[in-house]
Structure formats: structure tokens, C-alpha cells
Structure 1
Amino acid sequence: MNNLFNFLKEQWIHRRLIFGLTIYSLKSQYANHYLGLFWNILQPAMQVGLYYVVFGLGLRGDRGDVGELPFIVHLITGLFPWLFISGNINAASAAIQGQLSLVTKMKFPSSTLISVAIVNNVINLFITSAIVLFISLANGYSSPLHYLGFFYFLFASVAITTAIGLIMSTLVILIRDMKNILQNVIRMFFFVTPIFWALNESPGLMQTISAFNPFAYLVMNFRTALVLQEAPLYGGMSDHIYFWSITLFLFYVGVNVHYRFRDKLVDYL
């Protein structure tokens, strides 16, 4: 538990550094791009267009709406949170390896680089979520009080992706094959998460897989909060207990792996 408290303490002490590095990262990322931060909207919009053509017009055919939602709304409320989740995992996993020379020269904890990567994606999430919120308000899809569930999704997503990032940011340096394994696992989860398909239309096997898929839990919480006329949170008490048990376990593993190897990572390059 000491490592967990040390990690949280480091993030709090270096919160200004994290924010400053996030702003610098955003500026440098789009420094030579004419469209600048507009890419934060354009890139997910292009992916939505592609998946809508393939899955909406192609595979779904005449089935059209998903429940009471147009398929395009169902798609973006699955794809936008997934882009945030997968982006967090990829960025956090590569954060230390990409800046290892900087960490060895400057005195600040490498764990802050994971937070920088995730805060960067949080900014992108707010931009895409604002689009979903506008659509929801314009069409009366959800109750305004249910929108508070978005902040639960944000907290839960940051928690589990930070935990995974702590583990993978070390493993990708220790074991070079882990980067390729991670990419394939993320791709697998993309197809077994209800992003472009609906839980109530899926066969029993897919529903069973989704019940054990923490990313399905997160995506459904985002969708439930912003566009579904249901309770503010998705799932029952057993779903919440299952998700947070996994998250806390991954956090425990992550902080212990991180603190055990972080001073020796340069030796493995």
C-alpha cells in the first residue's frame, strides 16, 4: 500500500509540472499543422464516418436504429469513449520509454509522464464529449441529472488506464514483445466491446464476454450517462464491485512493478 500512496503523493506534488508538460505536449504535437487542435475533432469524425459506412450502411443494412437511438448516435457514444480508453493505454504505456533519457537527466518521478499522457487525452475527451452532449440536449435523449454519470466514467476510465499504464510502461521496456502483444490485445477488445454493436441484439456468448469486459462497462456507462433513458450508471452492484476489484488489483500490481524497476529501466535499453 505504501507504493500506492507514494504514487498518489507524487502526482499531487507535481500537479503543476503535469499540467505544464501537458500544455507543452499539446502545443508541440500540432506545432507544424495548419489545422492545429482541430485535429482533435477531425480525426475521430473521420473514424466515425468510416465505421458508419462499414458497420452502419454495410453490415447492419436495413436494421437502422439501435433501440431508440439512430445508429450514428449509438456509434459515436461507443467510439468516442473507446478512443479515450485505448488512447490512454497506448500513450501511458509508451510514456516512460519515449522520455527515458529526460527522466535520467532531470529529477522528477517518471510516474508523472503517465499522468501527462492521460491528462492530454482527457482534454480530447472533453472536446468529443461536448459533441455528444450537444446531440443529446438537442434530441432530449437523456436526463440532465444523468449527465453527472459522465464524471463517473471519466474517473473510472482514468483509474483503470493509469493502472494498466503503470504495468505496461515498465513491461514494454523490459520485454520488447509486449508492445506488439498490447496492440493485438487492444484490437481484440475493440471487437468484443459494444461500440458498433448493441448488447441487447448480441448472442448470449457476446453478452457473457461483455459481462467480464471492464471496457464494455466503461463504454456503457458513457452511453448511459449521455444518451440513454436509464439510471445514471450502467450495471448493478455486482458489476461495480467486479470493475473496481479489477482496477484496484491492477493498481496494486502496477505501482509495485513501477517502483521496483523505475530506477533500473535505462539498463534494459
Structure 2
Amino acid sequence: MDRISIEHGEGICTIMIDRPDRMNAIDDAMTRRLTEIFEALAEDGATRVVVIAGKGKHFSAGGDIGNIADWLSPDPQVRYDRFTQAVSSLSKPLALAMQRVPQPVIASVRGHAIGVALQIVLLADLVVASDSAKFSLPQLDLAHTPDHGESWALTRKIGLARAMQMSLMAERIDAATAERYNLVNWVVADEALEPRTEEVARRIASRPAAAAQGAKALFQSGQQRTLAEALDAEIAMLGKVAMQEDFVEAITAFTEKRPPVFGGC
């Protein structure tokens, strides 16, 4: 059985972490599969929005600890080699593949999102969480440091002080706190998670892809730019989207006071 399933429909790609008997814990093979999927999405012109969710009661309990325990050795140098190689070959490619996806990514979260699962949530552009959601960064409880890119992503999402708090305290926060920290966009009742996620995904998928992807690219890059550089990037992106037929349709529909009918990318 494929523990990472994928479904395409109406411009939406839904990725499901499907290992509910292990709280959707992510092992090496699953990490590689996720990386492959996100790398392929970067070249997928038909997909307008990506949704990632977990099957059952939890988004994911994070890395498969049993799997990691197999890497232990009495020799410190062997441990150094094994664990640094694992992060280099597993965590790093997944994080970079997610970052490079041009389509907006929505994480749909119920139950636990721990460790690498939290990093997946952090790299999503929008997060819909059920009121059962819990987010945690437990590495210090396991005598190690962030190792999936959290030191980069968590700080950008919630700020340095809160990121340090979650890491140094190995703090587990509930959905309401996550919303207050700006880690999630919406908190809904558990039974409303899938309908609300679908509503958000369909709304984004109904937008012209070039504009949605362009906006994502601008906001991502804007954090590293000066205001003048950001304005230059916006000018260049506006020129690019103005060349699209959907741009013409949007402006025409607005002037004619009717809903636009988009067809291109």
C-alpha cells in the first residue's frame, strides 16, 4: 500500500500522508516519495493549488523514531556520519522541493503535527487547522537540534522570540495558540476541516494560475529584498501577467460588470 497517496482533480493536487496506524509517522521512503512529488509539481502546468493532509486523526507524528533508532551506534563518529548524511539526503531535499513549488500550497491539519510534519506545515503557504490540531518541535527533548529547516522557516512564520520558545521549551501548542502565533490561517471545528480546506483550495484554483503563482513568488522573495528591489520585481511580474489572456479577460469582465471566465495559465 502506498503510504503517500496523490489525487488530481479540477486543478487541485491533494497529497495524503496515509499511515494512520502509525499516526502518519514519516519514514525514509515516505520522505523520498514526498520529495519526488513536490519536484514533479514544480513542472506541472495543470495543477493550480496543492493540498497536503494526513489520513485519520493526525496530520503526522513526525519522523519514524523506530527508523531513526536503527542508526544509533556506540561510535560517535559513526553517529555523526549517519545523522548528518540522513539530513543531507532526506530533510534538505524535501524542504527545498517544497520551497520551489510555484503553486500555492495549503496544509490541512488535524491532530498532531510534530517535527518534520511541523516543517511541512511551515513551508505551506496557507494552513487550515481543526480545533484538535497540536504543533510541536520536540528535538531538544531528544537531545538534538532542529534538523528539517525549522530554524529558517519557523522564525519567518512566527518571529524569533516565539520560534526560540517553541524550540527551547520543546513546546506543544494548540490550534488557538497557533492561530495567535500566526502559524495557521484558520481554525475550524474538526468536522469542518475538509470542507473548509476544499473551499480555500477551490477559491485559489479558480484564480488565473500565472497571477497566483506570481503573487506567491513575489511574497517569498520580498523578504530578502529592499523596497526598491521589491517594486522592481513587482513591475516585472506585472508585465509578465499582463501578457496573459486571463489578464485581458479580468479587466474586460470588470468593465462589463460580469464575472470573469478564466481559461489560461
TM-score by length of 1: 0.25
Name the structure with the higher strand share: 2
Name the structure with the higher helix share: 1
Q: Which has the higher contact order (CA 8 A, sep 6+)?
A: 1
TM-score by length of 2: 0.26
